[in-house]
Structure 1
């Protein structure tokens, strides 16, 4: 049996508002102390009791709605004195249920009585929420302004929102919980998704959890009732016999409701904005009991599915959604006008369901007239719609109508019985008993033997199980060792690959050192491309020192930055297989760092090892530096001549200006 924790609560003072709290758990009462409203809410959220019992919810005043919203989903608020208009005093209830009372003006005594009465199932649960929850899935933070990076981030967030919506949709479908979903598409993903789930908060506990603070947010909003409801904790109220009806529902912001009886007569038409599923349920219950809940669209919305399940009614869904022309035609046949499109859609759905059943219902009417059960036509039709065949339904209704046969309680005079047959029967039974006792003894012996056999077989099975267990353990141990061997072999292969790579690098370094020591040739440090990553590799594996000569296979794509880095490294020369990009040439030329094509110097290369004859390299560098020196001198001379020419032109202009000024002065004089 599940243990229940109950908090009894009573007001101590109004300003400031304070409460006395007494707990009941497994028959044990404990005084918890004095709480403000804020501390009481925090205490309830931490302990998560099954019931918070109070003598009247009016004691919470304006804070009632806030208090109800803060309760954990599994915690009920119970008014033990009854529902409004039928309330009784705590003392009278306690006396009725055999609970001793003390000081009626002590708040802790009142809180104790509330807890004890709730433990006995006394009181009414306060219902503040519909069996309906709205779940909104949105992005968690603003995208902000920006270029390509912000666009990529925005698309990523919209994809995350779409994935979360799909995940929640899949969970709800697996849990068989009806819902409606509205989405807003953006960037091939979703900007938002809003679920309207037709289930209570308790049903969703553990299925959907709120998420905040990340790229995606999930928020849960229970739908509050317009007016508080009250449901008894223990027992069920008598339900009056209600008329069987067919109900059409058009869900949406404005809900349309239409009800017709099983003869096709219209009973009710109604439409209302923002009508939650609980209000729809209560409205329909006041009209009658639905045997069919119908919709005009296919597939059926979750809202309509929830209503059908609540009434345990059959759900009617058309093969394809009804067109507006078809709905208008149905209303013309009925000869009725409606206030809005929502009433039209609901009535069309209900009447379409009736037309589908009309031949069967007319056949039932004919059979009932023959059997004289016309007065019970609605009951028989409802049973047939629920799945019974016509014969079973008529039999059930007939049994209900059949008057009970009263027993004849008058004393009847009986003649004295003849005892001889009874004595003879007794003797036969005694012989039969003796025979059965002998048979019983024999069977007991057989049972003993069978038990010994069973015990022997159980021991054999136990030995076999032990052998199997040892075998399984050996196989598991072997499997673990095999997996360990596979891991070690993989690690060994990786280590061998590292050793092989390091060995190649070592051989290359040794070759370059030998060539460098001999002095006949200059070793070149080889780079596949002229890039930062390749430069870092060379520095990490063989090092890059001042005066080194680099050999680059393909320098395409290099720029000024890496050329300036090579200049800073103070390399002696750069040799390439393909021509250098112009920006690199300009940087190296300005820094007087020689650069050549490999075909000019006859470079010898094997794998990652390359050399050039020292004499060839030295002569090429000397010639290039001499040529650059002459080019620099020629450039300087040209610059000097250009300066002299510019000065001569400026001087000529100055003399001409002075001559013009003297001429003007003579003319004035």
Structure 2
């Protein structure tokens, strides 16, 4: 039999590292470690695989989110806080003394004491996870884009995902484990599957122990976090809180995105919500905020396990249709029976609302009968309690008697009661009503007296307000002199600020005039033929070229300075050719072969900017080059093209002669 291993943990004075004591049942020696970081702790727990972890304060390990993150790696390990629940437990030293253990004086001694006390059964359990978990089956690798090989890989991987999904479903059914399954299907199989399983992680881990993922399929089992850390004393597992009296009809639409719709028994919408990872504990908490569900409605048959589990926890009636509701059925239910705005709801909320409406319509006539009978009897009775009984197949007469006589919750069968007893009960109720009316009259008289007192104080208040107004006028007069001086100072500051702003504008104007002078000088030199102005194009793409042409920045005969030649092809080249430009200088990257062919075809020189480095100048935001240097570069390009054409012609002639010779 495997030895029971307990790890005791205590934070060290540095508040950054931990002391650890490892206690094995049946062994005298205890392994002690100090100075461990959080990551060291995780590695140690993986190595030792303890059955229990003991602490004197769980929050020494970090914040709630940090604690969840640590123990998500070990959801099956039992965590014990040996000092008991927060605000109730004793100190570790007192508990050690009660169990005749040495009083711990250091961090390592406290870790050792915690381990021994947990082994003795002291403390309370720390519950981090629900008795619920998720199993996610997904593709282990992506098939990539397009091509026959990608299709073959997608077909193989998605077929394997479907196979593993079916295998898990079969294992869960064989072990009679409640679950809901949602699949993202494809034409080849399944891309992704999600199982919501309503048993603790340790059960699933044991049942699926032999099932492993592969290169093609990932299988991930995740415990579901509780909304908050819970402390459970021995034999005191928390139950649902005392339920409020308001009865509800709740529609649920489970799935990868789960939605709920909460109505009262008069079908007034109280709340609707949809979200991913909407787990059972959070759904129950949301419902309890508004009341207690009498009816849980779904729109599919058979009903999902999530709805079954929630209905079971509340002892609610589970209502589901004889067949799955179609989209058309749901829309008709919403149009006929829902007063709210359908357009503001997402598809999951609409499904939840339609499920609740269908459930209500199932019992609508019974509810109307209850209301008619109670109105006829003119008796003060909790109608919702009567309705909660009739939906559980108690006949109306017995239901009314049970509510009147306070027998709700009794497990005995309803006995027949004679008319005298019922009449006596009614008379008692009438006397209670009469007494309450008398008390109400007394309170009304007191209220009238209080209202007269209030009126007297109001008159006094009005007189005091008049005096306050006179004092305020005097204060205002005094303030006006002070405000006048303050206004003068504010105006001086504003004048100084405006002067500063004017100086700034004058400086900017001088800079602009200098740039204008430089640009005029460049234009004169360009007119004389000394320099050639270059048109900068930041990127060789159709959108950039079209934008520059539309703005009139590229004209016939311009020389284009192409700052980045990547991105464009044949169509981009044709766009720029239409403007009959003189030449193109390429500064960065290379033009594509298709673009080069177009420019050669239309005899537009393409010059490598590397050969013109140092000759291209930038002044006042304008690029230019000496015309003579540009003409030399153009001539060199034309010479190079002519030489290439000559070589190509010679090769064609040689090939033709060789063909004639061989024939």
Give the TM-score, by structure 2 length.
0.50
TM-score, scaled relative to structure 1: 0.49
Higher alpha-carbon Rg: 1
